[in-house]
Each structure stands twice: as structure tokens, then as C-alpha cells.
Amino acid sequence: MTKRKMIEEFEKVFGTSEGVRVFFAPGRVNLIGEHTDYNGGHVFPCAIPLGTYAAIRKREDSKIRFFSLNYDQNGIIETRINNLKFNKTDWWTNYPKGVIDQIKKMGIAFSSGFEMLVYGDLPSSSGLSSSASIEVLTCLSMIRLYGIKLGKIKTALLCQKAENEFCGVNCGIMDQFAIAMGKKDHAIYLDTATLDYKYVPIKLDKIKLVITCSNKKRGLGSSKYNERRAECEDALRMIKESEECANIKTLGDLSIEQFERNKHYITDEVKLRRARHAVYENMRTIWAVEALTNNDIEKFGQLMNESHISLRDDYEVTGEELDALYDAQSKMKGVIGTRMTGAGFGGCAVSLVKEEYVDEFIEKVSKEYTKKTGLVADFYPLSVGGGPRELR
């Protein structure tokens, strides 16, 4: 999508295009470290070139008018800056509304409303964070339009709060952080307990990052996401009964040895498996970044596969479609590693594939996946994209 096209579309919907500015925020793909962010563990996501665009302009009055090119049949959705309420039927606009609500809670008074036309090229409900993308997009647009002072990490935290409090999804910080802090050709190694982070260059020599969209839709709110989170909290409470673990704050504080010595305190078999995933996945993420830093891409790939298996067997968030993708992809020639990415329950897989095998990979996986599930997968060979920005 170009700036010019966004402005043209804006003009068609809102009459004129004087004073319109255009912003972009990426989506993200998580390479490893899944369901660790609300357990105080490490994650390793990166921004992707696909994302969400906004053409936006302040109004004179207090109206806010939203329009999405992806859902143009819904027409203009209208609200007022001093009357922001979650409304299920307002659907995607609840994300920007939630962000503005949080900005207002910082004590910032908006002098007027605005009109905002949005377009996204991220497949929606696919685990590539279209919701965090639109949150960060809104926050950046507000910062620039209204001269608000807010750094990138604070932007991420504000957007997460908007999603937790306004939209009722108890997500961790990974998505908003990865998007607000995205950097071209780098993944972000983030310790979610401290928010310490490091950019790690993703220089893949003759290897492609391929995202496969299962086209099995995933709704975070309606999924078992909040349930998993609660199961981990219960497991933490139980293991803290042990003297050795009494002082830990999160499952991410546990080494594998500590966990193995004390796991019998978690008396519920399901919660034990959830905790095992959280502890081992955190370690896998640490090892994976070490491996990448040492140019050991094979090891990185192997850890990706182990991550999928743990998400399938211990965390139980993969589902038939993502497992069908894994089964097909993990055995293909040229595949270094592959796993589901994001919350799970449908959505996308991420794979590292040797360049010369990418075409064959797409052709064969596509056939096998459709044969098994009846669904048609979409493939996106991608590079690592940059962070949110204004289009000049």
C-alpha cells in the first residue's frame, strides 16, 4: 500500500484529503518463546513487512470517524472522543478506542476528534498480531497528531493495557513490544520479567523465513488463552509451596533443575504440563538465541521444532490444522525448523527454509495440508521488517 493510495481512499470516504497524514505499524512473528511472556520468560519476535496503515486527520469537533478498507461494507463507524465505550458491534474500532481511552487516563485532554481510514495487509485473526498492530498504529498517530510525548516502550505498555482493560484480553507484552520496537533485519530478544531487551541481527544466509497461514481463524478473546494463563498462575502458586521456590515471582524464574526437583508440588496433572511448557520454552528461547549468535542455525531450527511439540503436547494450543502444517513442514527437504507462532488455536506457522527449496516446500505442503484438512493455506516468504513510522 502506498501513501498516495491511502490518501486517495481517504478522500473518497471523507470528501477531502487536506491535512491528512499516513502512518504504518507492522505485524510481528514470534520466532520462539511462545506463551512465556505472561510467565515472566523470554521471547524472540520480530516485526514483518506486512501490517496496518492509517490515513488520519484531526477534526474541528469531538467526533471520531473510523473507516476500514478491509471491512468497507460496515461503512463509517462513529463515536465521540469524550464517550469511548467498548461495544462488541463496533468490532475492530474497539482497539483504537481502547488506546485513546488509555491516553486520556494519562491525563491528556484531546482538543478534538479525528477521522481515520485504515487498511491492513495482515491476514486477520492469524496470530500475526493485527490487533497489536492497530493499537500501536493508533498510538503513534495520536502522538504525532496531538503532540503527545510518549516513548516506544511506554507506547507498548499503554497498548497492552488497552487490550487488557478495554478489550478484555489478558495478553502479555510481547506483541505490542515487538511492534513498537521493531527494527529492520533484527529480532528482539526480550526478557518479559524486566523488559531488558537486545536486538539480534537476523542474517539468514540463503535461508528464507516463510509464514504459513492455516486459514483456521483464531479469536484470542474467545479462545482458551485466558484459561492457559490462569492454569499457569495456579501452577506457580502450587510450586511456591516448596521452600526452594518460595521466593520466585514467575515460572520464568525457574531453572529446569529447580523445576524438576520441585514439580511434585504441582499436584494437578494438566497444570503440571502447562508449567513444564513455560519453564522449558523459556530455556529453549535462551538456548535458541545463543545458537543463533553462534551461527548454529541447525540448533535454532531444532529448538523451533521442540517448541511446537511442547505447545502441542504440554500446552495444547496447536489444534488439528497447525499440527497438520507441522507434520507436513517438519519433514520437507530444506526445512531448518518450523513451529506454530502466536497464541495458537489456529493462525500461522513460521518456518526457516533453505532458499532453493522454498518453491517445492510451498507446493508440497500446500497439497498435503489441503488433503488433510480441506483448507487452503497461504504462504508468505518474508524478510524482517522495520518498526512503526509515518510515510513521507
Catalytic positions, please? 175
Using CB under 6 A as the binding rule, whether residue 231 contacts ligand GLA is answered as no
Q: Tell me: does residue 342 bind ligand GLA (CB under 6 A).
A: yes
Please state the closest distance from residue 388 (CB atom) to ligand GLA, in A: 17
Would you count residue 34 as binding ligand GLA (CB under 6 A)? yes
Interior/surface letters 345-367, b for 16+ CB within 10 angstroms, e for the rest: bbbbbbbbbbeebbeebbebbbe
Least distance (Å) from ligand GLA to the CB of residue 346? Answer: 12
Binding piece for ligand GLA, criterion CB under 6 A, among 30-38, 89-97, 199-207, 329-337: 30-38
Rank residues 41 and 113 by Cβ distance to ligand GLA and give the closer one.
Answer: 41
CB count in 10 Å sphere of residue 224: 15
- What's the closest the beta carbon of residue 45 comes to ligand GLA, in angstroms? 9
CA distance 346 to 28: 16
If binding is defined by CB under 6 A, does position 276 make contact with ligand GLA? no
Nearer of residues 22 and 348 to ligand GLA, judged by Cβ: 348
**List 51, 96, 120, 172, residue binding ligand GLA (CB under 6 A):** 172
Residue count at the site for ligand GLA (CB under 6 A)? 10
Helix (H, G, I), strand (E, B) or coil at 180: helix
Contact status: 38 vs ligand GLA (CB under 6 A): yes
- Which of residues 152 and 364 has its CB atom nearest to ligand GLA in the complex? 152
| CB-nearer residue toward ligand GLA: 79 or 250 | 250
CA dist., res. 236 & res. 250, Å (int): 7
Of 119 and 225, nearer to ligand GLA (C-beta) is: 225
| CA distance readout (Å), 319 to 220, 267, 316, 323, 348 | 14, 26, 7, 6, 12
Question: What Cα–Cα distance (Å) separates residue 49 from each residue in 176, 215, 379?
Answer: 16, 19, 14
- Return d(Cα 91, Cα 250) in angstroms, integer: 33
CA-CA distance, 119 to 113, in Å (whole number)?
A: 20
Q: Do residues 238 and 28 lie in contact, with contact meaning Cβ atoms separated by under 8 Å?
A: no
Q: 316 in helix, strand or coil?
A: coil
For ligand GLA, which residue of 171, 291, 362, 365 counts as binding (CB under 6 A)? 171
List of residues contacting ligand GLA (CB under 6 A)? 34-35, 37-38, 171-172, 174-175, 342-343
